[in-house]
Each structure stands twice: as C-alpha cells, then as structure tokens.
C-alpha cells in the first residue's frame, strides 16, 4: 500500500486556515500579508506532518527573478577593517549564488528597518543579512515575505536560520593554544548584541578592546604589553602582530590564508568562504522546503 503523502489541505485543516494561506506561506509569497504567528504555525505543522512539496508546484519548479539580496549593516563606528570583512563575505556569497544560477544585489544600510521595501522594489527571491541588532531585526521581519538567512547574527526567531562561528569552541581552543586562561581580546565592533555577548563573556572586562574610530588601540596594547592576546579580525592582526612575540598572539581569521599575516602566526580560521558555502546550502534546502521552523535553526561554524 502506498504511503500517504500529506498535502497543503492537511496542513490547512490542522491550522484552521485556508489552503491558499498555506500556499502563500510555504511559497514565501509576497501577495498577502500574513502574520508571523500564522507563518510559524504553518511551518511547524508542515514539519510535523513531514510535508514535502510536489516537484511540479510553482515554487519548486521556478523562482521569480533569480535575484538574491545581500544586506550589509554598517555603523558609524565600523572601521575599514570590519568593512573589508563584510564586503569579502558578500563577495563570497555572490560567487556561490552565481554557481547556483542566481544574480545578487548588494545593499548597504544603516537603517535596516527602513529598507524593507527593497524586497518588493527589486522582487528579491531571498535575503542574506549580515550582522544586525535584535530590535532592528524584529522590526524588519514583521513584513517577512521571502526566505531570510542571518549571518553573524543570533536572533530569537525560529522562522529564520542563523549562521555564525562557534565562539565558545574557538575561544576555548585559543586559550589552550596560548597556554593562558586570561588572554586579552581585540576585536572589531559587532552590531548583534547576543553574538557580541557570546564573545565577551569569555574575557575579563579590563582585557577587552572593541575597535572603533574613537577607541585608543595604542593605549590598550601598551597596558597589556606583557600579556597574551586573541585578535578577531585580519586587519587588526596586521596592526598588532609586530608588537608582540609571535607565541603571545592568536589570530581568528575570516579571510583565510593570505599574505597579510606571517605564515607562522598562531591562527584559527573561520573563513568567509565557508560561511558562504554553508549559507547557500541552507538556502537550497529552504527552496525545497527541507527546513524546520524550530528554535535550533542555528548553525555554529567550527574552526578549520
């Protein structure tokens, strides 16, 4: 006897809504405004019933424009080094999406919540959002119509996947490699508060330096000249590596093996290329609805 295949009608019955509403949600339609709670309920029910789309359905067989948006959130306090890492990640995403047959449009913003119209203006099929504060994300996703993947963000919303480094594992490994429990930290500014906190909780407050145009890196390094440190950010690594013995620093690199830093410098890699590859794989799964709306929709990238 053939195994019964759940349909949109079954999901609609479970949720007490119309089949059309289910279709709008599962196809990420922009035609109707549907509440966040309803979208979440539909996704959860589809997962529980093991719903999978027919390959002949509209969303499974074709995309609207083959156009993906990459949104970079900038702050006044972002340095050139942080912007370089942002743009490198966007370039890697664009390359990966190109291999999948998609074109990308890069959007830089300082007011994400005011740019929700970019989805409808450009008729985007999906969005990658790089670093954003939680309140802005909440405001922006109230009008959620297309798949959105958050990179270098932690958010409390099971509808969206979050992809970021496993900082707990990375910093614990870095401390072992440096043979100290109390290293200092130098890092670029981070918009997303939960992710920032995941990093900072591993360090004593006097040992933390956040790089902004108004901060004094020279003074901080002078006060820690006899210590050992973890540097998050390739350009910061270039600025600092000559001032300390090579065994006293560890670099967490996003750009991969380049000529920017000495080959023998202690380094942990969490490459933008890897982030992009993982994000694009998740995106493919979302297109086929192989995606669960659960709180565990976060991918922690391990060091390489």
User: Is a pLDDT exceeding 80 seen at residue 108?
Assistant: yes
203 token code pair = 């360090």
User: Is a pLDDT exceeding 90 seen at residue 288?
Assistant: no
CATH class belonging to 63-164+273-301: alpha beta
User: Is a pLDDT exceeding 90 seen at residue 237?
Assistant: yes
CATH class belonging to 8-60: mainly alpha
**In the structure, what pLDDT confidence band is assigned to residue 177 with cuts at 50, 70 and 90?**
very high
Instruction: Report residue 191 CA to chain centroid gap.
Output: 12
Mean pLDDT of 151-168: 87
21 token code pair = 């509403």
CATH class belonging to 167-271: alpha beta
**In the structure, what pLDDT confidence band is assigned to residue 53 with cuts at 50, 70 and 90?**
low
Residue 139 has a pLDDT of: 76
Residue 148 has a pLDDT of: 84
Place of tokens 């890092």: 187
* 198 Cβ contact list (under 8 Å, min separation 6): 154, 167, 168
At 11-21, the pLDDT tens digits run 888 888 877 67
Ordered alpha helix ranges (H), the chain: 8-15, 19-26, 36-48, 58-61, 80-99, 117-122, 134-140, 167-178, 193-200, 217-223, 234-240, 272-287
**Most distant CA pair in the chain, distance:** 75
User: Is a pLDDT exceeding 60 seen at residue 89?
Assistant: yes
User: Is a pLDDT exceeding 80 seen at residue 39?
Assistant: no
Residue 54 has a pLDDT of: 57
- Left if phi > 0, otherwise alpha if psi is -120 to 50, otherwise beta: which for 256? left
Please compute Rg for the chain using Cα positions: 22
33 token code pair = 């405004």
Using H for helix, E for strand and C for coil, what is the string for 118-150? HHHHHCCCEEEEECCCHHHHHHHHHHCCCCEEE
Domain ranges of the chain: 8-60, 63-164+273-301, 167-271
Question: Does 63-164+273-301 match 8-60 at the fold level?
Answer: no
In 3D, which of 304, 299, 303 has the Cα closest to residue 286? Answer: 299
Whole-structure pTM over 0.85, yes or no?
A: no
Task: Tell me which of 24-33, 195-204, 261-270 is least confident.
Answer: 24-33
Mean pLDDT of the chain: 83
């Amino acid at each position: 006897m053939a195994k019964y295949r759940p349909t949109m009608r079954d999901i609609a019955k479970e949720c007490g809504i119309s089949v059309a509403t289910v279709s709008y949600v599962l196809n990420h339609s922009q035609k109707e405004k549907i509440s966040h709670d309803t979208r979440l309920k539909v996704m959860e029910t589809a997962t529980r019933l093991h719903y999978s789309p027919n390959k002949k359905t509209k969303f499974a067989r074709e995309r609207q424009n083959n156009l993906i948006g990459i949104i970079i959130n900038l702050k006044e306090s972002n340095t050139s080094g942080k912007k370089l890492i942002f743009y490198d990640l966007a370039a890697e995403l664009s390359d990966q999406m190109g291999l999948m047959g998609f074109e990308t449009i890069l959007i830089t913003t300082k007011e994400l919540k005011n740019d929700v119209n970019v989805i409808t203006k450009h008729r985007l099929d999906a969005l990658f959002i790089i670093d954003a504060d939680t309140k802005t994300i909440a405001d922006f996703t109230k009008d959620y119509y297309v798949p959105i993947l958050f990179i270098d963000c932690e958010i409390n919303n099971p509808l969206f996947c979050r992809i970021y480094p496993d900082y707990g594992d990375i910093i614990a490994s870095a401390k072992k490699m440096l043979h100290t429990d109390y290293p200092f930290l130098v890092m670029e500014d981070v918009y997303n508060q939960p992710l920032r906190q995941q990093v900072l909780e591993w360090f004593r407050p006097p040992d933390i330096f956040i790089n902004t145009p108004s901060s004094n890196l020279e003074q901080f390094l002078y006060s820690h000249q006899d210590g050992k440190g973890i540097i998050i950010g390739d350009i910061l690594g270039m600025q600092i590596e000559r001032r300390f013995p090579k065994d006293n620093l560890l670099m967490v690199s996003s750009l991969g093996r380049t000529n920017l830093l000495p080959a023998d410098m202690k380094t942990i890699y969490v490459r933008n290329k890897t982030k992009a590859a993982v994000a694009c794989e998740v995106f493919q799964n979302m297109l086929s609805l192989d995606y669960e709306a659960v709180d565990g929709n976060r991918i922690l990238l391990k060091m390489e």
